[in-house]
Amino acid sequence: MNSPLVTILMPVHNGAEFLVEAIDSMLCQSLRDFEFLIVDDASTDSSTSIVQGYRDPRIRLIQSRERLKLSGALNLGLDQAKGRHIARMDADDISLPKRLERQVQFLDGHPEIGICGSWIRYFGVSSALLERPIHHEEIQAFTLLDTPFAHPSVMLRRDLMERHPLRFDGSYFPTEDFELWTRILRHTQAANLPEVLLHYRVHAKSLTGSGWSTMDEQAVRIIRNQLRLLGLDPTPDELRFHRQLAMGRLTLTKPLLDQAEAWLLSLLAANQKTQFLPSKALESLLGDLWARTCLHSARLGFEVARCYAGSSLSSTDTRRCRRQWLIRLAALKAKLT
């Protein structure tokens, strides 16, 4: 019997409320050659009986009596996957009908790519579009700020995971995916398809507040590793500042704006020495971050406009950010005349 083209890997723990929608969205895929590996992580609700109620032979249920949590359940599934590619899925999301087809077509046409994600659309509490960098060098640079993939949108080559080998590290919960991506990027090129292939359900209880969280703490651990490879040894205060700056959470004064500029320039200077990250991609990324930071501080008036225009960082932001700045400057001028 031939192995399936794709293994869909979906853990579930007490996910009965939305499980049928998630399963049905995969069974309705235009690409039909897959196995659907559902790892029941010691559920105590009706999740198991819902899965067992399906008669589709492509569904394979793995049950764990003990709670493995996300990383453990995913690693169990990875160990048993048979497909050439592994597509991630969460038990409360919805994959669009051509998701698997589009990602397999892309990977087949780009053998150098080992991991492929997509943009996603939130639904539920939020309806925002989440875009992630498209090209490999942009994705590499983005790891200095945040995870470069929407986890449930990802498709991986199984031979990549087996050859190195690569598995999730549960000590980084709840950002174990981000940590794994940084290791995967040492072995392969990556891409995100610039189209929405998955709808990501947002629950009110799952929203992360603007304050410091466990997710921030763990993301900072990963980013610290990246900064050290860049040639820096950041202090805890610098790491906290970096995280808040990257996430757009700082209420900026002129001194903090100066601090932000100095920090971003130090990242560029460090990378010039180590060449850890692609220089043009990093310059563009940090230029855009500088532009967004200044836009967020536009209440400071022409003082922030002078900061923006006078910085070497402003020459590396993208046209979209620069256009936003021109619009904001025009509004500032109109307000003062």
Q: Alpha-carbon distance 115 to 155, whole Å?
A: 6
Q: What is the pLDDT of residue 221?
A: 97
With 0-12 CB in 10 A as exposed, 13-18 as middle and 19+ as buried, what is 241? middle
Locate 57 and state its tokens.
């032979």
State whether 241 and 197 are in the same domain. Answer: no
Name the one residue in this structure whose structure tokens are 């704006």.
257
* Max CA separation in the chain (angstroms): 76
Q: What is the pLDDT of residue 18?
A: 96
Q: Taking the chain, what is the end-to-end CA distance rounded to the nearest angstrom? A: 76
Residue 307: name the closest of 286, 291, 319 by CA.
291
| Full pLDDT tens readout for the chain, 337 residues | 589 999 999 999 999 999 999 999 999 999 999 999 999 999 999 999 999 999 999 999 999 999 999 999 999 999 999 999 999 999 999 999 999 999 999 999 999 999 999 999 999 888 999 999 999 999 999 999 999 999 999 999 999 999 999 999 999 999 999 999 999 999 999 999 999 999 999 976 554 444 679 999 999 999 999 999 999 999 999 999 999 999 999 888 889 999 999 999 999 999 999 999 999 999 999 999 998 898 888 777 777 777 887 888 887 656 555 555 555 554 554 454 4
Whether 171 maps to a domain, the answer reads yes
The last residue of a domain, from among 206, 224, 253: 206
State whether 65 and 157 are in the same domain. Answer: yes
Whether 216 maps to a domain, the answer reads no
pLDDT in tens, 84-139: 999 999 999 999 999 999 999 999 999 999 999 999 999 988 899 999 999 999 99
State whether 173 and 32 are in the same domain. Answer: yes
Q: What domain count does the chain have?
A: 2
With 0-12 CB in 10 A as exposed, 13-18 as middle and 19+ as buried, what is 176? buried
State whether 78 and 164 are in the same domain. Answer: yes
Q: Alpha-carbon distance 167 to 177, whole Å?
A: 10
Q: Alpha-carbon distance 171 to 22, whole Å?
A: 27
State whether 41 and 140 are in the same domain. Answer: yes
pLDDT in tens, 227-266: 999 999 999 999 999 999 999 998 888 899 999 999 999 9
Q: What φ, ψ does residue 154 adopt, rounded to 5°?
A: -80, 145
Whether 192 maps to a domain, the answer reads yes
Q: Alpha-carbon distance 321 to 337, whole Å?
A: 25
State whether 105 and 157 are in the same domain. Answer: yes
Whether 46 maps to a domain, the answer reads yes
Q: Alpha-carbon distance 13 to 9, whole Å?
A: 14
Domain that holds residue 315: 234-336
State whether 111 and 13 are in the same domain. Answer: yes
State whether 242 and 199 are in the same domain. Answer: no
pTM for this model (two decimals)? 0.92
The last residue of a domain, from among 189, 206, 223: 206
State whether 141 and 287 are in the same domain. Answer: no
CATH of the domain at 90: 3.90.550.10
State whether 110 and 239 are in the same domain. Answer: no
Locate 151 and state its tokens.
């986890």
CB 41 within 8 A of CB 69: yes
State whether 186 and 278 are in the same domain. Answer: no
Whether 297 maps to a domain, the answer reads yes
State whether 39 and 179 are in the same domain. Answer: yes
Residue 25: name the closest of 106, 91, 84 by CA.
91
Vertex 7: Cα angle to 92 and 105 (nearest 5): 100
Q: What is the pLDDT of residue 14?
A: 96
